[in-house]
Amino acid sequence: MSSFCLVFAVPDDAPALLNIYAPYVRTTAVSFECEPPTEREFAGRIASIGAFYPYLAAREGGRNGAIVGYAYASRAQERAAYRWNAELSVYLEQGRGDRGAGTALYRALLGLLALQNIRNVYGTVTLPNAASLRLHEKFGFRPVGVFPHAGYKLGRWHDVLHLEKALGDPAEPPVPVRGIRELEPVAVAAALNGEAGLSGRREFCF
């Protein structure tokens, strides 16, 4: 298994991340976008999402290594009462397999979201996608429904599975959600090292 350094992605990482994402857009139904965004558009997404939610990149072998995957959280729904929910996305360089990058990214992402007081996280998987299902099952996500024929791409309709994981006790009232930049650096470091109530430990950079 390879070693990885997790970093917070910045807009300057857009070319590397887009090199990972664009093939999913062009040749698969993993993403329901039909045309890849431009580097400028993608950089804007990183800046906008990363201003409040964790947007992480996995560099292989160290802080200056090549980016081999990325993951981020975003707002799941717009209405105010939904603000304790987040939707997760993860993309790994095609043709390499997971090699632990997906697991490392998701573990850190969930730890940071728990610190932000997010209570529910959701995954959306275009079927079939055995690798994505294994990753979500590893972290205790449960399926909550399938939207049949939810998107038309590459000449056919695709079903979409929705998965859910609770990060807190639903019997307890929520506390205000905090932006990623409001978190204490020591707590962020602990989350990146798998010490925020999630099993496992790795070596991370931040």
User: Residue 13: which CATH number?
Assistant: 3.40.630.30
Whether 205 maps to a domain, the answer reads: no
pTM exceeding 0.85: yes
pLDDT for the residue 98: 63
The radius of gyration of the chain from alpha carbons, rounded to an integer in Å, stands at 16
Torsion, Cα 9 49 102 153, to 10 degrees, reads: -120
Whether 95 maps to a domain, the answer reads: yes
Whether 201 maps to a domain, the answer reads: no
Segments forming the whole domain that contains residue 185: 4-192
Whether 197 maps to a domain, the answer reads: no
Q: Is 92 helix (H, G, I), strand (E, B) or coil?
A: strand
Mean pLDDT along residues 148-172: 97
**Looking at the 3D structure of the chain, how many domains does it have?**
1
Strand locations in the chain (E)? 4-8, 55-60, 67-75, 85-92, 120-126, 142-153, 156-166
User: For the chain, what is the mean pLDDT?
Assistant: 91
pLDDT digits (tens, 9 = 90+) for 101-137: 999 999 999 999 999 999 999 999 999 999 999 999 9
Whether 164 maps to a domain, the answer reads: yes
At residue 198, does pLDDT exceed 60?
A: no
Whether 206 maps to a domain, the answer reads: no
Confidence of residue 159 (pLDDT cuts 50, 70, 90): very high
Whether 204 maps to a domain, the answer reads: no
Whether 143 maps to a domain, the answer reads: yes
Is 183 in contact with 8 (CB distance < 8 Å)? no
